[in-house]
Amino acid sequence: GNSVTQMEGPVTLSEEAFLTINCTYTATGYPSLFWYVQYPGEGLQLLLKATKADDKGSNKGFEATYRKETTSFHLEKGSVQVSDSAVYFCALSSRGTDKLIFGTGTRLQVFP
C-alpha cells in the first residue's frame, strides 16, 4: 500500500542554519505530494505541494522537489528562524482517492 516515511526528530538548529527534512514515499502511479506544518497548539496548514515529477513547491522560503526516480520529496530552507519551530508532515494523495496519507511528522526546534 501507499506510505510515507519521514526522518525522525527532533531536528534542532540554530537560527539561520540550513534545514533539510527527508521524506520518501511508496505509491502506485503518480501521487501528489504535500508538506503540512503544525505550529504549537494549532491544526495543520498546507505549506507547499507538488503534483507531478520534477515540480518544485515553494512557500515562505521552504522548497521541496518531487523526485520520482528516488521517490523523495525532501523539505529544505536556506536559513531557518525561531518562528519556524513546528512539526512538519509529509503527505501524499493518490489519484482517484479522497484521502491523504501522512508521515509521522518531524519536530523542528530552532534556537536563537
Selected range binding another protein among 14-22, 34-42, 62-70, 72-80, rule: CB under 8 A: 34-42
| 70-84 burial code (b ≥16 CB/10 A, e <16) | ebbbbbebeebeeeb
Among 58, 63, 67, 102, binds another protein (CB under 8 A): 102
Residue 94 binds to another protein (criterion: CB under 8 A): yes
Residue 40 binds to another protein (criterion: CB under 8 A): no
Which residues of this protein are in contact with another protein, per CB under 8 A? 32, 34, 41-46, 49, 51, 89, 93-100, 102-105
